Structure formats: C-alpha cells, structure tokens
C-alpha cells in the first residue's frame, strides 16, 4: 500500500499544476460571465426606465389632447353663432323682442368662449398677419398695393389651436402685388 500511496501522491502532484491553471481559467470564465450578466441587467434596467418615461410622456400627451376630436366637432357651432351675430342689423338690435333673443345668443357665445379658454382652445390670429402655412390656409389671393404681399387681409373661417396643436387652419385671403 505504501507504493500505492506513492503513486497516488505523484498523480496528485502531477495534476495539481494543471488543476490550479484549470481553476484560474474557470474563475476567469465565471467572472466574465458575471460581468456579462451584470451588463445585461443594467441594460434591461435602463430600457425599463426608458419605456416608463416614454409611457408617462404619452399618457400626459393623451390627457392634454384628449378633447381634440370633440373640440373639432364643436368649432362649426362656434362659427354658426358668430355668423348669426354678425348678420344681425342695428335696426333688429333695437327691437325689444329681438334684443332679448340676441342677448341669449350672445350669452351662449360668451359661455362657449369661456369653455374654450378653460380647455386651452385659442383662435388663430389672422388679419394683418403674414401667412403662416402652419396656421393658415390661403384660399385666394387679392391684388392690392395697400399691404405687403403675403399679408392676410381677409378671413373666411377662423382657425383654432388646442394648446400648441392646430385644430383647424384659418381660411384666409392673402394680399398679392397689384399688376
């Protein structure tokens, strides 16, 4: 048995350097795998944070502009009220019955303006402004020397914004140089 022990000790001594080298390679391999897993975890955490931010921004935007479709639908009503009030003559305003009727229409128009204001709906400035294709739609050109070409001189239909988004462009007549 003594000889068997010697053979075993020699085998262990011969394997020890290989085993030590193998262990250090194994440790290096495991450290590399740990680093890769750590990097993947960091990337995943960053991606989750980016998705969370993007969803929060989309949620805020959806909330801010949720009324856009309804606002577009209500704009023709505002237009009709304005046209009705603009069509009333001074003579008709003097009539007592008509005056009471007009007071109701004007009150409705003021309330609608108040609702628009509370919800961030504003009228696009047009007359006297330079044509802005992001807010105005030129329907016709009017030859004149009174103003600079490209200046809006007539508004056929008001345009409206919801906060910073265009709901409807203003339909306008634009000055052009007289021939």
| DSSP class per residue in 66-79 | TTHHHHHHHHHHHH
Cα 121 off chain centre by: 15
What pLDDT was estimated at residue 6? Answer: 55
What pLDDT was estimated at residue 150? Answer: 93
What pLDDT was estimated at residue 61? Answer: 85
> What is the b/e burial string over 105-124, where b = at least 16 CB atoms within 10 angstroms of the residue's CB?
eeeebeebeeebeeeebeeb
Q: Could you tell me the pTM of the whole model?
A: 0.66
What pLDDT was estimated at residue 153? Answer: 95
Each residue's pLDDT expressed in tens, for the chain with a length of 179 residues: 555 555 555 555 555 555 666 888 999 999 999 999 999 999 999 999 999 999 999 998 888 788 888 889 999 999 999 999 999 888 888 888 888 889 999 999 999 999 999 999 999 999 999 999 999 999 999 999 899 999 999 999 999 999 889 999 999 999 998 87
What pLDDT was estimated at residue 106? Answer: 93
């Amino acid at each position: 048995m003594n000889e068997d022990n010697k053979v075993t000790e020699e085998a262990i001594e011969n394997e020890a350097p290989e085993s030590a080298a193998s262990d250090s390679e194994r440790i290096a391999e495991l450290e590399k795998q740990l680093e890769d897993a750590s990097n993947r975890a960091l990337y995943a955490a960053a991606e989750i944070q980016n998705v969370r931010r993007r969803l929060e921004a989309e949620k805020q935007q959806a909330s801010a502009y949720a009324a856009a479709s309804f606002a577009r639908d209500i704009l023709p009503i505002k237009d009709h009220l304005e046209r009705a009030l603009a069509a009333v003559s001074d003579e008709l305003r003097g009539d007592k019955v008509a005056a009471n009727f007009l007071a109701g229409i004007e009150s409705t128009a003021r309330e609608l303006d108040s609702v628009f204001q509370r919800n961030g709906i504003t009228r696009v400035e047009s007359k006297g402004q330079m044509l802005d294709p992001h807010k105005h739609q030129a329907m016709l050109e009017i030859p004149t020397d009174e103003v600079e070409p490209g200046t809006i001189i007539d508004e056929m239909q008001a345009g409206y914004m919801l906060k910073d988004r265009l709901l409807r462009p203003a339909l306008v007549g634009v000055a052009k140089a007289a021939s």
